């Protein structure tokens, strides 16, 4: 999709305004596969808007952890050639139901530890110390079992310890149908695990969709110093009670308020647009509309 000189200049002008406003500490990224499956196409999009950070999840049809080490080295060279840095490495680590404490369950956990090792290998190559993980899920129609919480905390703590030995930070994301889906649950696991290399990928929209609070109430439950990464999009509540994703500024989330509070709290970490919707079937068009709106919000903040 062609985006011309005016759009490119729009991004540059807005980023200059951000710096003048003292918001240069906001390292803005976009999750690349929310733009396109092809990394070069995603990089060209980032550059059109003057962005220098990318959140890497999937490319060429599969998760980064499924690609070979040599392929990841190619990605690093591509990023270097275009002046792009990796904001955070996304993984599906612990985005599974909690395995039972059986021989089969231990086999499943062993595969998860291999996944974490693979993620750290790739993050090292890509030059980021932040790895996005989860806190186990439950199946549709099920309810979370409180009895599982101590073991979940134990396993997440072990992942944090393993990451620390290699100099990585674990940024656990709150996500739907997970034992950490809302701001309240995110606060609870942060209180349970105090390690310096453990924090949160704060997704306020996921919290809202899961029946929790977003901003300001949800954010107020969290220690800002423990937020390592943030996902932005927007949401609308339907008359049915369900939540659907939409473009930034088209829904209910108070981006401006959240940005101003982050500035007040001295937030220095990364923020990604994770678009999660399409315009006429196009992820890129939706990401373009949302990044423009987000840049305007940042300028106003």
Given a contact cutoff of 8 angstroms between Cβ atoms, the answer to whether 299 and 18 are in contact is: yes
Pairing relationship of beta strands 234-237 and 243-246 according to DSSP bridges: antiparallel
Q: Is 64 helix (H, G, I), strand (E, B) or coil?
A: helix
What pLDDT sits at residue 107?
98
What pLDDT sits at residue 56?
98
Residue 54's Cβ-count burial label (10 Å; 0-12, 13-18, 19+) is buried
What pLDDT sits at residue 26?
85
pLDDT > 90 fraction of the chain, expressed in percent and rounded? 89
Taking the C-alpha atoms of residue 139 and residue 176, their distance in angstroms, rounded to an integer, is: 11
- Mean pLDDT, rounded, for 46-73: 97
pLDDT at residue 23 greater than cutoff 80:
no
- pLDDT confidence band for 48 (50 / 70 / 90): very high
Pairing relationship of beta strands 58-59 and 62-63 according to DSSP bridges: antiparallel
pLDDT at residue 188 greater than cutoff 90:
yes
Q: What angle do CA 112, 113, 116 make, to 5 degrees?
A: 90
What pLDDT sits at residue 52?
96
Domain ranges of the chain: 5-300
Q: Over the stretch 109-120, which tens digit does the pLDDT of each residue have? A: 999 999 999 999
* H helical segments located in the chain: 5-20, 39-48, 69-81, 103-126, 149-165, 183-192, 204-209, 217-220, 255-264, 283-300
What pLDDT sits at residue 10?
46
Longest CA span, the chain: 60
Q: Residue 129 gets which letter from DSSP?
A: -
What pTM, to 2 d.p., does this model score?
A: 0.92
- Mean pLDDT, rounded, for 287-291: 98
What pLDDT sits at residue 246?
98
Average pLDDT score, the chain = 93
CATH architecture of 5-300: Alpha-Beta Barrel (3.20)
pLDDT > 70 fraction of the chain, expressed in percent and rounded? 92
Among the ranges given (78-87, 136-145, 174-183), the one the predictor scored with the smallest mean pLDDT: 136-145
Taking the C-alpha atoms of residue 72 and residue 78, their distance in angstroms, rounded to an integer, is: 10
Q: Over the stretch 93-137, which tens digit does the pLDDT of each residue have? A: 999 999 999 999 999 999 999 999 999 999 999 999 999 999 999
Place of tokens 């086999």: 107
Closest CA to 229 of 160, 190, 172, 164: 172
What pLDDT sits at residue 25?
65
For residue 199, what is the enclosing H or E element?
strand 198-202
Among the ranges given (18-32, 180-194, 196-210), the one the predictor scored with the smallest mean pLDDT: 18-32
Its sign, for the CA torsion 96, 65, 47, 19, is positive
């Amino acid at each position: 999709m062609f985006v011309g000189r005016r759009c490119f200049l729009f991004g540059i002008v807005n980023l200059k305004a951000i710096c003048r406003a003292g918001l240069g500490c906001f390292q803005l990224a976009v999750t690349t596969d929310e733009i396109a499956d092809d990394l070069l196409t995603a990089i060209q999009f980032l550059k059109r808007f003057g962005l220098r950070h990318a959140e890497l999840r999937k490319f060429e049809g599969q998760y980064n952890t499924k690609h070979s080490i040599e392929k990841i080295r190619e990605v690093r060279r591509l990023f270097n050639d275009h002046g792009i840095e990796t904001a955070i490495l996304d993984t599906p680590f612990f985005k599974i139901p909690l395995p039972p404490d059986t021989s089969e369950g231990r086999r499943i956990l062993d595969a998860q530890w291999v996944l974490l090792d693979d993620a750290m290998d790739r993050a090292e190559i890509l030059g980021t110390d932040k790895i996005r993980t989860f806190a186990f899920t439950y199946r549709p129609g099920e309810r979370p079992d409180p009895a599982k919480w101590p073991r979940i905390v134990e396993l997440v703590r072990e992942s944090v310890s393993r990451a620390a030995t290699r100099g990585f930070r674990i940024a656990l994301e709150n996500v739907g149908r997970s034992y950490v889906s809302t701001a309240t649950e995110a606060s609870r696991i942060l209180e349970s695990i105090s390690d310096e290399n453990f924090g949160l990928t704060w997704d306020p929209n996921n919290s809202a969709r899961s029946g929790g609070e977003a901003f300001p109430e949800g954010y107020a439950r969290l220690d800002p110093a423990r937020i390592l990464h943030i996902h932005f999009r927007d949401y609308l509540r339907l008359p049915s009670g369900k939540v659907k994703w939409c473009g930034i500024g088209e829904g209910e989330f108070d981006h401006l308020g959240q940005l101003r509070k982050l500035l007040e709290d001295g937030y220095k970490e990364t923020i990604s647009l994770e678009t999660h919707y399409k315009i006429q079937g196009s992820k890129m068009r939706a990401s373009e509309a949302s990044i423009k709106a987000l840049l305007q919000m940042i300028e106003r903040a």
